[in-house]
Amino acid sequence: MTKSLKELILAAEFAAIIAVLSQFTIPLGIIPLTGQTFAIGLTATFLGKRTGTVAVFIYLLLGLIGLPVFSGMTSGIGVLFGPTGGYLIGFIFQTLLIGWLIEKWGENYPQAFIANLLGSVIALIFGTFWLKISGGLSIQTAFLSGFVPFLLPELIKGTAAAYLGILLRKRLHLITHSTIASPKK
């Protein structure tokens, strides 16, 4: 099996993991608290920048073509233009940043934790600005409803994603050695 086929299979598996964890939802106003961001952090931490981003693209494409993979079993282009669309787009940049930082800094918990927190902030910024635009809200209202309530949950999910992602990378290193980019030590 070629390296690119292995990467594509891993990306598809993680797209499915993102879809499943997206269904763990706690309503919190117009933007729900979901397992989606934990799954994105885990994907980026474990798979790295390239394969992780492919996994997120697969997940988004599945939702855009109508499979109910977004939170609350939703799908379609309407979700992308709805209040949560900015977060979905932000997931791409969250994955790129987390993967890039971990590949640059190496496989260790403190740096993975920082990378996950920075990645979460990126997704929250995208989501908050899109919430402002799509909802016609003031920046203050969008910030107070789309950013602030998610800081503590993102801290918790980012910590868990960093820990589990690095643990899996280290434990499964022999299996995935030729598939996932090896970061600098």
1 confidence band (pLDDT: 50, 70, 90): confident
Mind listing the domains of the chain with CATH numbers?
5-172 (1.10.1760.20)
Distance of CA 128 to the CA centre of its chain: 16
Give the dihedral sign, CA 86/87/90/91: negative
Give me the mean pLDDT over the 139-155 stretch.
96
Residue 162 tokens, joined = 């960093």
Q: Is residue 28 pLDDT above 50, yes or no?
A: yes
As a whole number, mean pLDDT of residues 177-181 equals: 49
- What is the rounded average pLDDT of the residues 162-181? 75
pLDDT at 177 exceeding the cut of 80: no
| Contact (CB, 8 A) for 88 and 97 | no
Q: At what angle do helices 36-64 and 85-105 cross, to 10 degrees?
A: 120
Q: Closest Cα partner for 43 from 25, 67, 22, 66?
A: 22
Predicted confidence band of residue 174 (pLDDT cuts 50, 70, 90): low
Taking only the tens place, the pLDDT of each residue in 76-85 is 999 999 999 9
| Average pLDDT over every residue of 19-31 | 91
Residue range 83-118, pLDDT digits in tens:
999 999 999 999 999 999 999 998 899 999 999 999
Window from 53-57, 66-70, 103-107, 121-125 with minimum mean pLDDT: 103-107
Whether the predicted pLDDT of 19 surpasses 80: yes
- Is a pLDDT exceeding 80 seen at residue 73? yes
What whole-number distance in Å separates Cα of residue 43 and Cα of residue 149? 23
Q: What confidence category does residue 178 fall into, taking pLDDT thresholds of 50, 70 and 90?
A: very low
Residue 121's pLDDT is what? 98
- Nearest of 160, 180, 166, 182 to residue 38 by alpha carbon: 160
Over residues 138-159, mean pLDDT: 96
pLDDT at 184 over 60: no
